[in-house]
Amino acid sequence: MNPPERAAVRGIEVPRRPFLIALSLTMLVAAVQWTPRFRPLADRQAESLVIARQAATPFRIPTRVDSAALERHVVARFEHWPLARIFFSRTKERAMSERIARAIVKEANYLEVEPSLLAGVLLTENAPLDASARSSQGAIGLMQVMGFHAGEYDCDSDDLLQVEANICHGARVFGYYLKRTGNVRRALLRYNGCVSGTNTPNCRRYPTKVLRNAHQVRRELLQYPPYSLAVDTAAF
């Protein structure tokens, strides 16, 4: 007797060759249609890193920061202390730094100018912050005030070797020229005695030096803790 498995095989009719060919072609076409289009691996990896996001809004350039207003804000809140820190970094004498800073802020408020501008004059005239300094032309003290100005500007003292009196006289001399000329650079030229351009060598460069120092002071003022404020790099 034949096993049941062989009997079953004999009972199945073998498909004809044309049918098998047609079936193979049909399966091949279906496989081609349903197979995803080939894409390079690099493209697929790159797309996997892209995060869906909302449509981008037009970029707007922010308006310029008013650094003078920021300086006034810092000084109004912290008084003379930010300026004292700046002077202390140059002289390492804490008490002297505080006296100079307090006097500068007081006179800046009186003249309605920024403290950094008066500090720029002071640092240009007397970078070592030597209150007893005298020039060969007879200028005295921190802001190098000429002796004939003593007592002319209603300061608390006529002693130009005293810190507060010297800064008071120097600031008010500058304020007088500023009121007369209406221009910071021209006022600085007069403060330096550079009227005809022959009094001191290269005196026409004096306003640029002062404004450069003033701008550096402002940058340092605006970084006073606990704030670190944005700084406008525009000139005064």
Q: What is the mean pLDDT of residues 14-25?
A: 65
**Dist CA 140 CA 151 (whole Å):** 14
Q: What is the mean pLDDT of residues 87-99?
A: 93
The per-residue pLDDT for 194 is: 85
pLDDT band for 163, please (50, 70, 90 cuts). Answer: very high
Residue-range domain boundaries for the chain: 67-221
Give the containing element (helix H, strand E) for 146. Answer: strand 145-146
For residue range 115-150, list pLDDT tens digits in order.
999 999 999 999 999 999 999 889 999 999 999 999
- Closest by CA position to 218, among listed 73, 85, 117: 117
Percent of the chain with pLDDT over 70: 67
- The better pLDDT of the pair 227, 93 is held by 93
The answer, yes or no, to whether residue 37 has pLDDT greater than 80, is no
User: Is the bond leading into 15 cis (omega within 30 degrees of zero)?
Assistant: no
| Alpha carbon distance, N-terminus to C-terminus of the chain | 116
Q: What is the mean pLDDT of residues 195-208?
A: 76
CATH C-level class of 67-221: mainly alpha
Q: What is the mean pLDDT of residues 31-40?
A: 60
